[in-house]
Amino acid sequence: MKTIKFLVKVNRGGVRIPEYVRRIDRTPIEMTSDRRLALLMGRFTAEDAVKSIQTSRRKPELVSVTAHAGFIESEPKIPAGVAAAFAPTAIKYQL
């Protein structure tokens, strides 16, 4: 069964690498630069996290990922012989 979960990606501008939300149960929200350690959450929880960390310097965005039972696929692989135009891609929601 496939479900869509969201990551919160935060760009601080400049040459810094993007960060992802790791924990939201404490203040301030804990961030990580490793995408594998990012917290997968539902859309409403992700939108609340975006609202709480949004400032003039920080530019958060929602990144959707497809979560299977026990497996997460964020960037689908393109099968051999299939045109790139027909392949599914990751969806980004800019807030």
> How far, in Å, CA of 6 to CA of 36, rounded?
13
Question: What are the pLDDT digits (tens) for 23-63?
Answer: 988 778 889 999 889 998 998 998 888 888 888 788 888 88
Amino acid sitting at position 92: K
Q: Containing domain of residue 76, as a range?
A: 3-94
Amino acid sitting at position 94: Q
> How far, in Å, CA of 7 to CA of 53, rounded?
14
In this prediction the pTM is 0.65
Q: How many domains, the chain?
A: 1
